[in-house]
Chain A
Amino acid sequence: MSEDSIISLQNVNKWFGEFHVLKDVDLEVKKKERIVVCGPSGSGKSTMIRCINRLEEHQEGTIIVDGIELTGNLKNIDSVRKEVGMVFQQFNLFPHLSVKENITLAPIWVKKMPKAEAEELAMQQLEIVKIPEQADKYPGQLSGGQQQRVAIARSLAMKPNIMLFDEPTSALDPEMIKEVLDVMIDLAEGGMTMIVVTHEMGFAKTVADRMVFMDEGRIVEQAVPEKFFNNPESDRTKLFLSQILNH
């Protein structure tokens, strides 16, 4: 593990039953680095980032997040989850709680923050994602783009050092993708360490410090966006790029 790595995956292997999803995955992420992970479906990219906050368990290799190694130790897992925020494809907001309650839930219960303070914090986060006026609505009353922004605000309220995005715009209608990407670009410019699984190549070109291409459970290629898009090394990458860029 290099000195300034905040996330380090070494030789990570994972199986779903007999199926080998992650094969010898090595990845180093520096502080404030923005990584975009892409690859065909089933290539293990979601599984990889889900291993980083232990929503999935890896079977071999080491994962170290912010100096904490992920093992069966529940205390470690809890402290890692406090450091790492995650945004899901399906938003996964809590439908029985209002927007504000969705955001204050973890600060109040995990960080034991007083309610008034947590609500103030929630309003700050909603300002960041540009929907403070929706604070008292329920998730079911919001559009997909608004829900995803609430989900981002909910993660940010725990003041994470790292944000993981698992195809955050894949479930959105086209006209709502931009509002979510704009929020993510703001975050990136604010210096957040981010790993984003996405097919939004425009977004990747704008914010990524490094592209990671995965196929069949392996990291096939890693490069800065300019090189990745214009001059990829592997044939597999070239094929993938030609398929998603030329349509």
Chain B
Amino acid sequence: MNEITQTRKPPVATTGILGWLRMNLFSNWINSLISLFVLYILIQFIPWILNWTIFAADFKYNFNGEEIINREMCSRVLDPENGGACWAIIYVRFYQFMYGFYPRDEVWRVNLSYIMLAVAVVPLLFDKFPFRKHFLKFTYVFPVIAFFLLNGGLGLESVSTNKWGGLLVTLVLGCTGIALAFPLGIILALGRRSNLPVISMMCTLFIEFIRGVPLITLLFFGMVMLPLFLPEGVNMDGLARVLVAVTLFQSAYMAEVIRGGLQAIPQGQYEAARSIGLSYWQMNMKVVLPQAIRISIPSIVNTSIGLFKDTTLVIIVGLLDLLGIGRGALADTTWLGLAYEVYFFVSLVFFIFTFAMSRYSLYLEKKLKTGINMGAD
């Protein structure tokens, strides 16, 4: 090996922890100052937050060892100086937060649905999942199974949706909204770009109308006006009406996101697909959409996270989602004044789901970037 091809190690100061610190935190005096300031804030607050939420907090018992059954027994009410969060309100009402007023004898049906949801979704998200093909078959039938499980029928006792609540309602609205809006959004996006003026105009009108209206308005529309459009005698379930509104809303946004992806596909892809004889649908399903959706993943996840959080608006039309149950708990006179705990808990649950979605989107982006070089050159 001669001198020229020999590789040298990089200078010590640019590698290792010290190098990293120097490059990222203390590269010049402004950065150093900001780093120190941030460090100071973290040192001040992290112990305090940990103490309040965990170490000094009550879970089931207060510091006297008594089981907490009302707010007067919370440590932080008895001793405002030292007491932390009083999670007993969550503990006592945990069932409501998870299931609303779903009958206790039937709650296994909800739990089973949660488990099946995980089994249905995880293989969908990871393409290296073992036996993915077989799991995906289950993913397709899952909505039907879940519907009968949760709603009753086929020998199961019927549970009216006005007994549903908490995380159950949040998940039903979020998952169904996202799952239905996706294909609908694709169709709307293709429709808007269609060469047929009637179809393109109808899709554009629909998208622009829905996007121009606040979700709350659509929820009221679903609640109040939708029944007017139904034939007499047909009584549509309250949750279903809200679902229609949420799905329409989300599909309009999804359509615009996917349309953005479609616009990024070069004309040559369409021409090549056409020149080898693919039909319009084959061209879209096999060539154009896979690429367009790949490009739009960050925005798709973004609007999905948005919808998941927007489901809290259903409180306006009287459905009790996770936040609705939380507000109900706060209105209970035995627990009055524990707003921090309730909102913290509700935020945490939402955060877990949305953070998972955001991480998943990052994972996908990274995978698609390293896996396949999308550029032709």
Contacts and interface: CB of A to CB of B under 8 A. Distances in A.
Given A90-B376, A141-B373, A55 B274 contact: yes
A109 interface: yes
A147 B376 contact: yes
A96 B277 contact: no
Interface in B134-182: none
Nearest to A108: B286
Interface in B257-278: 266, 268-269, 271-278
Contacts of A82: 277
Interface in B346-377: 372-377
A110 B372 contact: no
A141 B372 CA distance: 8
B274 A95 contact: no
Given A90-B268, A155-B275, A109 B282 contact: yes
A98 to B, nearest CB: 9
B211 interface: no
A92 B276 contact: no
B275 A86 contact: yes
B221 to A, nearest CB: 39
B272 A95 contact: no
Interface string A141-152: 100100100010
Nearest to B294: A96
A81 interface: yes
A140 B275 contact: no
Contact of B277 (A78, A91, A141): A78
A81 B273 CA distance: 10
Interface string A75-113: 000100110111010111111100000000110011000
A112 to B, nearest CB: 11
Given A96-B294, A110-B282, A85 B275 contact: yes
Interface residues of A, number: 30
A193 interface: no
B376 A155 contact: no
B287 interface: yes
B279 interface: yes
Interface string A161-203: 0000000000000000000000000000000000000000000
Nearest to B372: A138
Contacts of B287: 94, 105
B277 A88 contact: no
Contacts of A78: 277, 279
Contacts of B197: none
A41 B102 CA distance: 73
B286 A109 contact: yes
A96 B272 contact: no
Contacts of A144: 377
Contacts of A90: 266, 268, 376
B282 A139 contact: no
A55 B276 CA distance: 11
B183 interface: no
A215 B363 CA distance: 53
Contacts of B32: none
A12 B287 CA distance: 32
B375 A92 contact: no
A21 B294 CA distance: 37
Which of B277, B286, B374: most chain A Cβ within 10 A?
B277
Given A92-B272, A95-B372, A96-B290, 18 more contacts: A78-B277, A81-B276, A82-B277, A88-B271, A90-B266, A92-B271, A95-B374, A96-B294, A106-B276, A109-B278, A110-B278, A138-B373, A147-B376, A151-B272, A154-B272, A155-B275, A155-B276, A158-B276
19 contacts: A53-B275, A81-B276, A82-B277, A88-B272, A92-B268, A92-B269, A94-B287, A95-B374, A96-B290, A96-B291, A105-B276, A139-B376, A140-B373, A140-B375, A140-B376, A147-B376, A151-B272, A154-B272, A158-B276
